[in-house]
């Protein structure tokens, strides 16, 4: 979930090296910021790297003196008593550029004051558990039709309110397993009020859905889901809900889940014009990379879909890189 658009340019800038330290490994990433090992579990795959131990160096702070692992002492001029120096925490050891194998969405972060990045991961088991087919008249889909959630044939001049659409419905649960909040790509003043749903749309497209031919990979149908209710639906133990679907605050906290049931509007693909057969359902969150994440390679779920014309079954749902 190679970066696209502006994110791609940012990644090209960050991966370059503008410093020469001779024989010593370069402890800095692009723009001269030290790399933060706190996020190395999601940004790098350096399992063989040894943890940093031993003496820290004040050189990283621009002083050029060594200090041991505990606070140094000095004799007071006034009283002749040893007092501890103010403790300066050691900067986390950087991952050398030669060892860092960047994945899609990985970025360098300053180690001091950095809050990390979000990391959205959809739940493949949740999609597989409750996928089904629904037939609905157009008059019951008016709100969804306003959001362009139906196939193009639903908007033809000859259609009536009593025409039936066939919908491939499935639920979705997305977890933020990163270290920072996932916030809408648009500022609050630009959120759009949707009178039919009586809610604010904070992102134009939070998820995108494709139905692909299993043999050729060609797209045969598609859908999308605007994040009109981006919130902390549930959270892991020890994490508190902080965002709700309101006009003032929307987002997804670390350790929390945003859940969309299969029966809500636009949580589907319109397959009215799709013949029976075997297909691949592709569900992607943050599809246009509008919000920066620590890892975009876990934003996609793919499922095998068997459609009989009346019923559908989903199997082998799993996380995919694309």
Task: Note the pLDDT tens digit of each residue in 115-166.
Answer: 799 999 999 999 999 999 999 999 999 888 888 899 999 999 999 999 999 9
Average pLDDT of the residues of the chain? 74
- Selected residue with higher pLDDT from 189 and 86: 189
CA 253 to CA 243: how far, in whole Å?
7
Instruction: Label residue 227 by pLDDT band (50, 70, 90).
Output: low
Long-range contacts of 73-77 (CB under 8 A, 24+ apart): none
Maximum distance among all alpha carbons in the chain?
96
Q: So what's the pLDDT on residue 112? A: 39
DSSP annotation string for 79-141: T--EEEPPP-PPPPPPPPTTT----TT-----SSS------EEE-HHHHHHT-EEEEEEGGGG
DSSP 8-state symbol, 31: G
Going by C-alpha positions, the residue among 320, 314, 287 that lies closest to residue 302 is 320
Neighbouring C-beta atoms of residue 243, cutoff 10 Å? 20
- Whole-Å CA distances, 186 to 9, 49, 85, 193, 205: 20, 39, 46, 13, 11
Q: So what's the pLDDT on residue 80? A: 47
Share above pLDDT 90 across residues of the chain, in percent, rounded to a whole number: 48
Neighbouring C-beta atoms of residue 74, cutoff 10 Å? 9
Instruction: Label residue 198 by pLDDT band (50, 70, 90).
Output: low
Q: So what's the pLDDT on residue 311? A: 95
Highest mean pLDDT among 71-75, 202-206, 240-244: 240-244
Q: So what's the pLDDT on residue 159? A: 93
Is residue 107's pLDDT more than 60?
Answer: no
Is residue 82's pLDDT more than 60?
Answer: no
- Sole residue written with tokens 């082998």: 316
CB 146 within 8 A of CB 201: no
């Amino acid at each position: 979930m190679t970066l696209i658009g502006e994110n791609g340019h940012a990644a090209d800038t960050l991966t370059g090296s503008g410093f020469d330290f001779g024989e010593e490994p370069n402890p800095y990433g692009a723009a001269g910021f030290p790399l933060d090992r706190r996020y190395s579990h999601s940004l790098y795959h350096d399992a063989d790297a040894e943890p940093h131990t031993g003496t820290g160096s004040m050189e990283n702070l621009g002083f050029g003196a060594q200090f041991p692992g505990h606070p140094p002492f000095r004799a007071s001029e006034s009283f002749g008593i040893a007092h501890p120096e103010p403790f300066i925490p050691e900067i986390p050891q950087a991952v050398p550029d030669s060892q860092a194998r960047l994945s899609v969405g990985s970025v360098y972060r300053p180690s001091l004051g950095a809050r990390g990045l979000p990391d959205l991961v959809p739940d493949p088991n949740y999609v597989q558990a409750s996928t089904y087919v629904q037939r609905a008249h157009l008059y019951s889909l008016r709100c969804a039709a306003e959001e362009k959630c139906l196939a193009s044939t639903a908007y033809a001049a000859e259609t009536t309110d009593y025409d039936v659409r066939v919908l491939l419905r499935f639920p979705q649960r997305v977890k933020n397993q990163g270290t920072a909040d996932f916030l809408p790509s648009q500022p609050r003043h630009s959120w759009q009020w949707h009178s039919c749903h009586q809610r604010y749309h904070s992102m134009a497209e939070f998820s995108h859905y494709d139905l692909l031919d299993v043999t050729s990979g060609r797209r045969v149908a598609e859908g999308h889901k605007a994040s009109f209710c981006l919130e902390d639906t549930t959270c892991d133990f020890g994490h508190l809900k902080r965002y709700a679907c309101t006009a003032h605050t929307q987002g997804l906290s670390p350790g929390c889940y945003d859940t969309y049931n299969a029966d809500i509007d636009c949580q589907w693909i319109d397959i009215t014009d799709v013949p029976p057969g075997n297909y691949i359902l592709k569900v992607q969150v943050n599809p246009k990379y509008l919000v920066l994440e620590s890892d975009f390679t876990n934003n996609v779920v793919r499922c095998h879909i068997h459609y009989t014309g009346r019923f559908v079954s989903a199997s082998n749902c799993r996380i995919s890189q694309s």
